[in-house]
Chains A and B, each alone.
Chain A
Amino acid sequence: NAGVTQTPKFRILKIGQSMTLQCTQDMNHNYMYWYRQDPGMGLKLIYYSVGAGITDKGEVPNGYNVSRSTTEDFPLRLELAAPSQTSVYFCACNRGGAQYFGPGTRLTVT
């Protein structure tokens, strides 16, 4: 039981490039979330999903897209990377009201 896994751990992108951050959970939970965390800041919700085929925007969705075709996977897509998207990205799933986080992806856009 790996919980929540994320790939890659680190990535450097050039401005304008695209990439997909992968998130997979093996706990069969319906609710999944994507957050970003900037230095010295709390977590800001980007997108969330209440189950396969259902997604919704969080507090900071601009510049990102998500899909949820299966219960296990919740990828986050950056289409045109910008320096403002330099951050640490965490995926999480919900169990019993609490959220449990993956190890994170550190993204730098230069």
Chain B
Amino acid sequence: QKEVEQNSGPLSVPEGAIASLNCTYSDRGSQSFFWYRQYSGKSPELIMFIYSNGDKEDGRFTAQLNKASQYVSLLIRDSQPSDSATYLCAVLEYGNKLVFGAGTILRVKS
């Protein structure tokens, strides 16, 4: 069973700042990584996925993958109060199953 670790937070950032969320994983052979956002009382929604080393950008979101160090990061630029949520990191394992971290709570203060 792969393990995925995240700092539970809360991570507090001022509006307009960059929020940096980190995730480490145990299986060096992992290939695919996902970031989900979950608002309180709602279901997780996919933000980004990344398969290759380096950065992947989508609007205000950038996912960073470093396979040698076994970590994945999510950067949120120009953070908004509406970004306040729990961010879940997930790693794909065999059978198209995802292993989730416990999530990091992000609070963006206006």
From B45, B97, B101, contact of A58 by CB (8 A)? B97
Using a Cβ–Cβ cut-off of 8 Å, how many residues does chain A contribute to the interface with B?
Answer: 23
From B45, B92, B95, B102, contact of A42 by CB (8 A)? B102
Whether, in the assembled complex, A28 has its beta carbon less than 8 Å from a beta carbon of chain B, the answer is: no
Residues of B with Cβ closer than 8 Å to A? 1, 4, 8, 32, 34, 42-46, 49, 88, 90, 92, 95-103
Is B96's CB under 8 angstroms from A101's CB?
A: no
- Chain B residues with Cβ below 8 Å from A31 are 96
The contact string, 1 if C-beta is below 8 Å from chain B, for chain A 49-71, is 01000001011000000000000
Residue contacts A-B, CB under 8 angstroms, 21 given: A33-B97, A40-B8, A40-B102, A41-B102, A42-B101, A43-B44, A43-B98, A43-B100, A45-B97, A45-B98, A45-B99, A50-B95, A50-B96, A58-B97, A98-B46, A99-B98, A100-B46, A101-B43, A101-B44, A103-B43, A104-B42
CA of A41 to CA of B92, assembled, Å? 18
- Chain B residues with Cβ below 8 Å from A94 are 96
CB of B75, distance to nearest CB on chain A (Å): 20
Whether, in the assembled complex, A74 has its beta carbon less than 8 Å from a beta carbon of chain B, the answer is: no
The contact string, 1 if C-beta is below 8 Å from chain B, for chain A 31-43, is 1010000001111
